[in-house]
């Protein structure tokens, strides 16, 4: 491992901003990490361990200067789904072993992905599908936390089962708990709007603990976190048999961890700073998870909200992450007993307020304005997470993204061109430019994208349709937008040209071939048929040639 770039180039002027940013981020991250541990069904101290070890390792090895790594709402709910099948919530020791095993497998998968240089995989979940997936996760988390706000208990099941149980349990709600939750939600929302730079989660947690102590809320039925062990995390070894059961969900968690990490790192990189390198991020997050696994941490990844706080607080380098990690260590050693006094409703309020941010109706509206099909993919991803499950939902998200990719490459556009009057600009015909010129007997077409065996037939149909309608003398195919012509597609083009020429008396010209496509065409029978007289550098040359032929020039 090379010497950390940020440490080698560190400037003394960065030290104070890094301390301030690191402690500010700690004030946000630590309460949220505690809350996310409860989402995952783990003891709250696991949140502290996750804000300590993975944060420390990533700060030393990561390529983003401001990325804050602990855990996220998305990862927490995926961890909860994974652990549900292998450990009971009542068996804390087995639950911690299962968490360590899962985190270890996630880290190993990320490291193997780095060795295979699979950083590009982060681009394989489309943005609309990711928006739908995260919105679904946000809805699931909110429904999961509502019982803690109401002070009710029931056996957890499917989303619809939980929703029905909440409705039926409202008459049995603890109104003191409801009051605490409502006050905390109001406090968090008010601070987010009026004092956006303040550490709202920390203030809410402190207020909740103070209220329990001052007003004796436990006597009114307000449940608290309970005992939180003081001191360093104990060494936890993964369980080999559990690895066999946990590797499928670990694969999905690893993908989501990496996707969120690289997205947050790229989003907050300033001009002049190193851009996060996908393969190096795989290694850094992999080692962060692997190291955290042995010291009680749950699966970790970069968080958008906490990274935004890091950037807004003035972080200059990964040293800010080291200070955040040290703050988590100090909390473990000194403040654990106070955390035990925190109301469960306070943690639930923190989770709900920050999970609602995953649900962005405006993003769905923006997608719908641009493309209805991708809006449907986003909705399907959301419904898949809510009704099928979060782990299954990530599979749905990946499949949808691949189907979307396959759909796009299998049905590329073929434009009918016109010429902008008085220019040599050729553009797709549309109602916005009715004045664009066309030429009798000449049909100008422009296919786009890679033409290969999966879409050649479809492109052929799209080309054939206007030829049948117009019956031109010459068809000009502008291939400037075609960066690759696979052999199957080339063979179909050869056969189509021959049929048009011999059976229908229509001549085919080619325009704007890029070097790779030009070499393929020249080496084929089509190149011999067309020669130099029917292949042109630009559409304007082809039109000039056509006019010269028509006028006898």
97's tokens: 């072993």
For the segment 36-49, the average pLDDT, to the nearest whole number, is 91
Give percent above pLDDT 90 in the chain.
Answer: 39
Asked whether the predicted pLDDT for residue 391 surpasses 80, the reply is: no
- Range list of H helices, 411-486: 456-470
pLDDT at 1: 46
For the segment 380-390, the average pLDDT, to the nearest whole number, is 84
pLDDT band at 552 (very low <50, low <70, confident <90, very high): low
Asked whether the predicted pLDDT for residue 66 surpasses 70, the reply is: yes
For the segment 526-545, the average pLDDT, to the nearest whole number, is 88
Tell me if 69 sits within 8 A of 301, measured CB to CB.
yes
Give residue-wise pLDDT tens across range 430-451: 888 999 999 999 999 999 988 8
pLDDT at 179: 94
pLDDT at 3: 57
Lowest mean pLDDT among 88-92, 113-117, 293-297, 338-342: 88-92
pLDDT at 400: 74
The more confident residue out of 553 and 397 is: 397
In 3D space, the residue among 336, 234, 321, 318 whose CA is nearest the CA of residue 276 turns out to be 318
Q: What is the mean pLDDT of the chain?
A: 87
Tell me if 174 sits within 8 A of 151, measured CB to CB.
yes
Which CA distances in Å does 383 have to 108, 159, 178, 397, 484? Answer: 31, 11, 29, 11, 37
pLDDT at 47: 92
For the segment 129-154, the average pLDDT, to the nearest whole number, is 86
Q: What is the DSSP string of 22-86?
A: HHHHHHHHHHHHHHHHHHTT--THHHHHHHHHHHHHHHHH-S-SS--EE--HHHHHHHHHHHHTT
Quote the pTM value: 0.70
Asked whether the predicted pLDDT for residue 250 surpasses 90, the reply is: yes
pLDDT at 551: 57
Asked whether the predicted pLDDT for residue 376 surpasses 50, the reply is: yes
The more confident residue out of 20 and 434 is: 434
pLDDT band at 155 (very low <50, low <70, confident <90, very high): confident
Alpha-carbon distance of 110 to 302, in angstroms, equals 14
Asked whether the predicted pLDDT for residue 118 surpasses 90, the reply is: no
Asked whether the predicted pLDDT for residue 122 surpasses 80, the reply is: no
For the segment 178-201, the average pLDDT, to the nearest whole number, is 88
């Amino acid at each position: 491992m090379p010497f950390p770039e940020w440490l080698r180039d560190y400037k003394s002027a960065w030290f104070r901003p890094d301390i301030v940013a690191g402690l500010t981020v700690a004030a946000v991250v630590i309460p949220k990490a505690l809350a996310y541990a409860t989402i995952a069904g783990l003891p709250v101290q696991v949140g502290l361990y996750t804000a300590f070890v993975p944060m420390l390792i990533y700060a030393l090895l990561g390529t983003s200067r401001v990325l804050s790594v602990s855990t996220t709402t998305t990862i927490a709910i995926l961890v909860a789904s994974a652990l549900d099948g292998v450990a009971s919530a009542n068996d804390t020791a087995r639950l911690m072993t299962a968490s360590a095993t899962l985190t270890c497998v996630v880290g190993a998968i990320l490291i193997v992905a780095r060795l295979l240089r699979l950083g590009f995989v982060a681009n394989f979940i489309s943005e609309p599908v990711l928006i739908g997936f995260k919105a679904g996760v946000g809805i699931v988390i909110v429904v999961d936390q509502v019982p803690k706000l109401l002070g009710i208990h029931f056996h957890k099941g499917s989303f619809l089962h939980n929703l029905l149980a909440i409705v039926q349990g409202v008459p049995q709600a603890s109104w003191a708990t409801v009051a605490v939750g409502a006050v905390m939600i109001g406090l968090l929302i008010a601070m987010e709007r009026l004092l956006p730079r303040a550490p709202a989660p920390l203030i809410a947690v402190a207020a909740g603990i103070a209220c329990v102590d001052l007003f004796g809320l436990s006597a009114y039925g307000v449940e608290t976190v309970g005992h939180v062990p003081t001191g360093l995390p104990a060494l936890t070894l993964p369980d080999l048999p559990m690895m066999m059961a946990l590797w499928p969900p670990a694969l999905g968690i690893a993908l989501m961890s990496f996707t969120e990490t690289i997205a947050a790192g790229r989003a907050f990189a300033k001009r002049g700073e190193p851009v996060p390198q996908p393969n190096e991020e795989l290694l850094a997050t992999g080692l962060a998870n692997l190291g955290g696994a042995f010291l009680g941490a749950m699966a970790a990844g970069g968080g958008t909200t906490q990274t935004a706080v890091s950037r807004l607080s003035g972080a200059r380098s990964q040293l800010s992450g080291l200070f955040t990690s040290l703050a988590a260590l100090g909390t473990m050693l000194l403040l654990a007993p106070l955390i035990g006094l925190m109301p469960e409703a306070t943690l639930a309020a923190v989770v709900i307020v920050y999970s609602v941010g995953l649900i962005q109706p405006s993003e769905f509206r923006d997608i719908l304005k641009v493309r209805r099909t991708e809006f449907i993919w986003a909705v399907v991803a959301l419904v898949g997470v809510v009704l099928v499950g979060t782990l299954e939902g990530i599979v749905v998200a990946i499949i949808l993204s691949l189907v979307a990719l396959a759909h796009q490459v299998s049905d590329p556009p073929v434009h009918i061109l016109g010429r902008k009057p008085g220019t040599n600009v050729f553009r797709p015909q549309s109602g916005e430019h009715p004045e664009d010129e066309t030429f009798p007997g000449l049909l100008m077409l422009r296919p786009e994208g890679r033409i290969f065996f999966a879409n050649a037939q479809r492109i052929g149909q799209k080309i054939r349709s206007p030829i049948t309608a117009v019956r031109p003398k010459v068809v000009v195919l502008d291939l400037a937008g075609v960066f690759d012509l696979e052999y199957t597609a080339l063979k179909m083009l050869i056969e189509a040209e021959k049929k048009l020429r011999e059976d229908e008396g229509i001549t085919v010209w080619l325009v704007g071939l890029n070097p790779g496509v030009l070499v393929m065409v020249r080496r084929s029978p089509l190149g011999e048929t067309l020669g130099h007289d029917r292949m042109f550098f630009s559409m304007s040359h082809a039109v000039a040639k056509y006019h010269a032929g028509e006028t006898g020039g």
